[in-house]
Amino acid sequence: MADVAFWQGNTALAHGALAAGCNFFGGYPITPSTEIAEVMAEELPKLGGHFIQMEDELAGIAAAIGASIAGAKALTATSGPGFSLKQENLGLAYIAEIPLVAVDVMRGGPSTGTPTKVAQQDVMQARWGTHGDHATICYSPSSVQEGYDLAIKAFNAAERFRQPVLILGDEVVGHMREKVVKKAPAEVEIVNRVRPTCDPAKFTPYLPDPVTGVPPMASFGDGYSWHVTGLTTNDWGFPTNDNAEIEKKILRMMSKVSRARSEIVEYEAEYMDGADVVVVAYGSVARSALRAVRDARKAGIAAGFFRPITLWPFPDEELLQASLGAKTVIVPELNCGQLVLEVDRVFHGRSDVQPLNLVNGELFKPSEIGRKIKEVA
């Protein structure tokens, strides 16, 4: 018989992280993500792991980076204002190639904004919040079960690609309660970082695997020496001003993800055959959007539904292929228009892309999206 729980979204995400082998949490409590920290504070000591509440969000991700360098599978969690504070050290983790998972349970902003209200205003921050070129992997759950499942995938991706992986939740999914089917340990696919096997005296810290582009990662204390810095480095891990070395480093950081794009990208598509109107939605809004599309179909309107599960890399090729023949694409979001810019880039005039925005702290009702479908049909 399946092991079933009735969990809040944040609770499910935390338990998914534990199932993936997470053994360290560093963070700072902030609404609406605090339940993640609470679960980790209670559960990690039982499993021999470590929980530490730092003085602020910047220190929280710094602790997670340090733990990962020491060999731990590390998690940090926050919301919009804290996500802003984490950006400096998120960039450090990208360039030093330190695996960790960072969760942002979105609320309204800017600044302190609306702590208890739902929003989707951090989508572009997740992609471009820390400066410089880097390849972003970002998941967006739309159910409690998916929060659990995507936490496992996020840790596996972080370990595989040796970089931060983001989960962009929102207040509604984070605080709603649904049934979750938990996986037995034997059912959980676990990916661990590749570790060096060479003689420590011959170890080149950032020499990549020729197939994956990902260097093996030693842990501090393993007997391998390597240098960690936010500066651009050569394969030895030391800062470089050599033009060729700089370009090689940046392009490898990008290509290690882009070459595996087809294995990373996830999406859901329903009612897309013959759809004249396509609704593209993610996170909690996708729940209202799917209901609106189903109601439109019952009313004889050829509406389709497309949900990116990975916001980054964005499933652009998949969306375009699934939407061939669509006259109008609607993008409902709890912001003033962010992912719609990416959708508009994809279609490039092939279809009429229209935003539908809501920023009052409430979730779209299916009827509100339904009215827009009828308007353009």
pLDDT in tens, 232-268: 999 999 999 999 999 999 999 999 999 999 999 999 9
Domains of the chain, earliest start first: 3-187 (3.40.50.970), 268-376 (3.40.50.920)
117 Cβ partners below 8 Å, 6+ apart?
107, 108, 171, 361, 362
Task: For residue range 94-124, list pLDDT tens digits in order.
Answer: 999 999 999 999 999 999 999 999 999 999 9
Between the CA of residue 159 and those of 100, 255, 289, what are the distances in Å?
Answer: 8, 16, 33
For residue range 65-93, list pLDDT tens digits in order: 999 999 999 999 999 999 999 999 999 99
First to last CA, the chain: 46
What pLDDT digit, counting tens, does each position of 287-344 carry?
999 999 999 999 999 999 999 999 999 999 999 999 999 999 999 999 999 999 999 9
According to the model, what pLDDT value does residue 199 have? 96
Residues 6+ apart with CB under 8 A from 51: 24, 25, 37, 40, 41, 44, 45
Predicted confidence at residue 112, as pLDDT, reads 96
Q: How confident is the model at residue 165 (pLDDT cuts 50, 70, 90)?
A: very high
Torsion sign, CA atoms 101, 21, 265, 34: negative
- The C-alpha atoms of residue 294 and residue 286 are separated, in whole angstroms, by 12
For residue 323, give the nearest of 369, 363, 371, 275 by alpha carbon.
275
Residue 330 to residues 121, 249, 260, Cα–Cα distance (Å): 18, 39, 29
One-letter identity of residue 183? K
Mean per-residue pLDDT over the chain, rounded? 97
Q: Residue 25's pLDDT is what?
A: 98
Whole-number pLDDT of residue 268: 98
Which residue's structure tokens are 């572009």?
Answer: 124
170-227, pLDDT tens digit by residue? 999 999 999 999 999 999 999 999 999 999 999 999 999 999 999 999 999 999 999 9
Choose among 235, 116, 240: nearest CA to 170.
116
**HEC string for 66-86:** HHHHCCCCEEEEECHHHHHHH
Residue 245 has what pLDDT?
Answer: 97
pLDDT of residue 187: 94
- Burial class, 206, CB count within 10 angstroms (exposed 0-12 / middle 13-18 / buried 19+): buried
Own/partner pairs for 110-117, CB < 8 Å, 24+ apart? Answer: 110/80, 111/81, 112/81, 113/80, 113/81, 114/361, 115/30, 115/31, 115/32, 115/79, 116/31, 116/32, 116/171, 117/171, 117/361, 117/362
pLDDT at 303: 98
CB 227, CB 238: distance < 8 Å:
yes
What is the distance between the alpha carbons of residues 200 and 154, in angstroms, rounded to a whole number? 30
In the chain, the percentage of residues whose pLDDT exceeds 70 is 100
Tokens 């004889």: give the residue.
300
> What's the alpha-carbon Rg for the chain, to the nearest Å?
21
Cα(121)–Cα(22) distance, rounded to whole angstroms?
A: 28
Chain Cα centroid distance, residue 193: 19
For residue 1, pLDDT beyond 60: no
